Amino acid sequence: MDVCHVPVWTELDMDAVGAKAGIIAFDLDNTLARSKQPMKADMARCISMLTRLRPLAIITGGRFELVKSQVLNELDDTACRENMHLMPTSGTRYYRWNGAAWHCEYAHDLDPAERRAVVASFERHAREQGLWFEHPWGRRVEDRGSQITFSALGQEAPIEQKETWDPDNSKKNCLAAAVGADFPHLAVHSGGSTSVDVSRRGVDKAYAVRELSAMTSVPVGRVVYVGDRMDPDGNDYPAALAGTIAIRVSGPHDTLEVCKELIARLS
């Protein structure tokens, strides 16, 4: 497996980053906002401003409805929605603004029988590993069509519970390895704080940034990608391997500083 070092933003020459930036792309959970929570007002102002300065993409393991509730609903009236590229479920779906609504341009859905088999695999291995809690907060396994997502504590678990459940990602990585062994032809990787995602192999965040590059004619090497899961087992890491200008953050507080640095250079 290829390996690359992904720097934190304080290690970068932000003048050089700003000079090369053709597209600004962001992960969502723990990058733009805490899990399942809307962006804070200062982040919303920065994202709205960035949409007026460069094309802006959101590439997330979450479904489109979360992009809407966490990001789109928080943008101010100055945001340029025509300049936005939304790629939920790890890039397996792609949405653009058509002037009146968000339109799905493509969706790489899994076969229904395959999706049922993945759900069964999640339950079997989670039970074996002691990760199947009998009283989760909300849905535990979600069939998103193009992606199956297992959330150990449930989709609606309190943020504090999510953020302290698996701080070193070892639980998620172990479950991902077990499910991945059942489906070698699919991509299985740890996602957010408590989640593991399954999608078509080759359709991940590397695929998403290459598609984004092709559709906008902006080289991958000029795509700035900001994410918190830049470890080799994380779902943001493929975007770094694809050749983007990858920036590692530890949470929305870091991302806000990155946004301010970019706005200062792109304005």
Task: Assign 54 to helix, strand or coil.
Answer: coil
- Give pLDDT tens digits for 20-79: 999 999 999 999 999 889 999 999 999 999 999 999 999 998 899 999 999 999 999 999
> Is 258 in the same domain as 146?
no
Rounded mean pLDDT, 81-101:
95
Rounded mean pLDDT, 202-206:
88
Domain membership flag for residue 258: yes
Checking if the pLDDT of 2 tops 70, the result is: no
Checking if the pLDDT of 1 tops 60, the result is: no
Per-residue pLDDT, 178: 97
**Percentage of the residues of the chain whose pLDDT score is greater than 70:** 99
**Percentage of the residues of the chain whose pLDDT score is greater than 90:** 82
Per-residue pLDDT, 189: 85
Task: Assign 241 to helix, strand or coil.
Answer: helix
**Domain count across the chain:** 2
Last residue of a domain, which of 150, 175, 200? 200
Which CATH number do you get for residue 127?
3.30.1240.20
Pairing of strands 56-59, 93-97: unpaired
Give residue 185's domain range.
Answer: 112-200
- Distance, in Å, from the CA atom of 57 to the CA atom of 14, rounded to the nearest integer, reads 19
Which CATH number do you get for residue 13?
3.40.50.1000
> Is 24 in the same domain as 39?
yes
> Is 62 in the same domain as 193?
no
State pTM to two decimals.
0.84
> Is 153 in the same domain as 214?
no
> Is 218 in the same domain as 174?
no
Instruction: Of 94, 125, 110, give the one whose Cα is nearest residue 185.
Output: 110
The beta strands (E) that lie in the chain are given as: 23-26, 56-59, 84-87, 93-97, 102-107, 141-143, 148-151, 186-190, 195-200, 223-227, 245-248
Domain membership flag for residue 4: no
> Is 51 in the same domain as 29?
yes
Domain membership flag for residue 51: yes
- Give pLDDT tens digits for 154-199: 989 998 999 899 999 899 999 999 999 999 999 898 877 899 999 8
